[in-house]
Structure formats: C-alpha cells, structure tokens
Amino acid sequence: MPSHSNEDTEAVTGDPASDQATLLGLIADPDMPETIADRLADTLPDQLDGEWRVEVDADPVTATLTGTSEILEQTAHKCDAHGWTFAICITDLPVRSDDGPVVADIDHDRGVAVVSVPGMGGLQTPRRVHQVMRQVIDELLGEYEERDEPGQVREQRRHGLSGKVIGLLAPIRRKAVETEGSHLDVRYVTPGRRGRLRLLSGMVRTNRPWRLVFGLSRALAAAVATSAFGLSSSTIWMVGDQLNIGFKVLTTVTVIAALVTWLIAAHDLWEKRGDTRSDPQLARLYNASTLLTLIIGVVALLLILFVVNFLLAWLILPASL
C-alpha cells in the first residue's frame, strides 16, 4: 500500500524490505492535482514492475514559479530532501513551448519530471494523466526505446505496456530538448491547433466552472425570490407573451454577458499581457479560459433558475391558465 505522509516514511525506513522498494514522490498542487495524485498513489504500485512505494506531498510548489525549469529544480530539491528515488510534480499550471502546449518535461539525470494537468484536455483528465504518468515513469527508468521516426511517441513498450496507451492521447509528441543551462532533456507536447484547444479545455476543467454556482448561491436565492414574485404577476406574463423569441434570446444573452462582465471586473479576473512575462500569449489563454469558465457557470445558474421556476409554475399555476 502506498504511503501518504512523511511520518509514515520515516517509520518504515527501518524495515529492510522497504529498502528494496523504489520510492516515487508525487508533488501535487492543491485541489485537482492533489486529488489525481491521491488516486495515482493507490493504483500505480500495483501496476508497476517490482516493489514501489508512492508518497504524495501536497505543496503549492508552482505558486511562485513561472516555468518547468524552475519547477524541475524545486522538484529535484524535494526529491533529495525526502530521499525519493524519483519525483514527479503534478501541476495545474498551463505551460507552453515553441513546439506547442507542454504535457510533461523530464530530467533523466536527476530522476524528476513535471506533468501539466491542463495539457491533458478537459475530458477524461484523470485517465489521461494516469497514462502519461506511466510513460513518464518508463522514461525515468530508462526504458524508452528510440524509434526510426523522430519526434513520435513510441508504439512498443517494455514489460507489456502497449503504445496504444499514449496513442489514445494523440497528438502528443516526444521531443528531445537541448537547452543550455537547463537539465531538461525530454519534453512531451501537443502540437498544432488541436493541442491549443486541448490546453484551453484543460484550463477550463481545472477551473471547475460548476463551483461557480455555489459561489453565487446568494445571487441564485435572490433570483428565485424575484422570479417567484414574477410568477404571480399577470403583467409580467402579459409582457412575456407579447415579446418575440428573438428579443427573449437577446435579453438572455445580454444578462449572461452583463453578469460575466461584472464578475470579471469585481474580482479583477482579467489578465494583462504584462502579467505573464515568460509567455505573453498565456494572457490570451488565461482570459479565454476565464470567459469560458464564467459563461459555463452563469449558464448553469440560469438553467437551475429555469428548472426551479418551471417546478414552481407547475405546482402553483392552474393548467388552464
């Protein structure tokens, strides 16, 4: 069974059998990456060859960092401090490169890597992270086999793991990296427009837009109370009956836009290009993900309001009316 605390680690180090185990540390940002790391700690040891122990260290290590080189450096320090064999940082920080959005960066020499959750996309994210983690672990173990076609993820895996695992994540590509002054030597990216769309959807998923409904619970309560009054007002029914469908759609869109704009302005959610010095284009991605997150959340709020009003009308209004 994997260990999830440093105290457990110290307690077990005295066991001779534990000295034979390969120690893998997962350094996870709070929230979604931490949830994924906990799942990996439960499932990975049974799927890897040999004896493995996986420890999770929930630490916002990337909060003050801007790129994977800095994250790898911090991960290497933590790996040495904890006595791990390998260490992988799971972050919700979106990372871009000249080749496209970054899924994973790997440092073979120090046995560390960083995996960017947004690069996996917005659908089936935990499963995709699990698949990439298997690939990254093989990389750290030195079990990658070079293919004739450069730049492509291998299709044959040692120890029986098929290349179809990574093929499901297409168009992920493996790139050898030679950067002066950096320990980074392997990078997995999602090139092209599809990769950028996947990164954007992953950023929206990481934002968890459904939580906005809980954040606006007071606004929802006020809207329900106001709409309940409207259900009992014959004037509102008469006005609504006279309006055409186009005007109603325009009104709904205007309401959504107004609420989204107010949320952005009130909470200072709009990124300026200068705020992302390492990559100015990230400002566009952050703003696009913010817009999509708020739009999804506000639309969900309106759908809940519609369902509540529909039920109220069904309960209190005669069918003939």
Is the sign of the CA dihedral 190, 194, 196, 201 positive or negative? negative
Q: Would the pLDDT of 223 be above 60?
A: yes
Residue 142: how many CB atoms within 10 A of its CB?
A: 8
* 159 or 296, greater pLDDT: 296
Q: Would the pLDDT of 88 be above 70?
A: yes
90: three-class secondary structure by DSSP = strand
For residue 82, what pLDDT is reported? 93
Please compute the mean of the pLDDT values over residues 171-180 and round it to a whole number.
Answer: 78
Q: How far is CA 200 from the centre of its chain?
A: 10
Strands 52-58 and 22-28: parallel
Q: Would the pLDDT of 158 be above 70?
A: no
Mean pLDDT score of the chain: 82
For residue 2, what pLDDT is reported? 45
Q: What is the DSSP string of 239-260?
A: HHHHS-HHHHHHHHHHHHHHHH
For residue 11, what pLDDT is reported? 42
pLDDT tens profile 243-256:
899 999 999 999 99
Q: Would the pLDDT of 148 be above 50?
A: no
126 neighbors 36 (Cβ within 8 angstroms): yes
pLDDT tens profile 49-73:
889 999 999 988 776 677 788 899 9
pLDDT tens profile 15-40:
544 557 899 999 998 888 999 999 99
For residue 299, what pLDDT is reported? 94
| Most confident among 68-77, 81-90, 237-246 (mean pLDDT) | 81-90
40 neighbors 133 (Cβ within 8 angstroms): yes
Phi, then psi, of 303 in degrees rounded to 5: -65, -40
For residue 181, what pLDDT is reported? 57
pLDDT tens profile 122-134:
888 888 899 899 9
CA distances for 154 relative to 98, 146, 161, 224, 252, angstroms = 22, 7, 11, 55, 50
CA–CA dist 267, 130 (Å, integer): 34
Q: What percent of the chain has pLDDT over 90?
A: 43
pLDDT tens profile 183-209:
788 999 988 888 889 999 999 999 999
pLDDT band, residue 142 (cuts 50/70/90): confident
pLDDT band, residue 266 (cuts 50/70/90): very high
**Nearest residue to 203 via CA among 276, 154, 266, 307:** 276
Q: What percent of the chain has pLDDT over 70?
A: 81
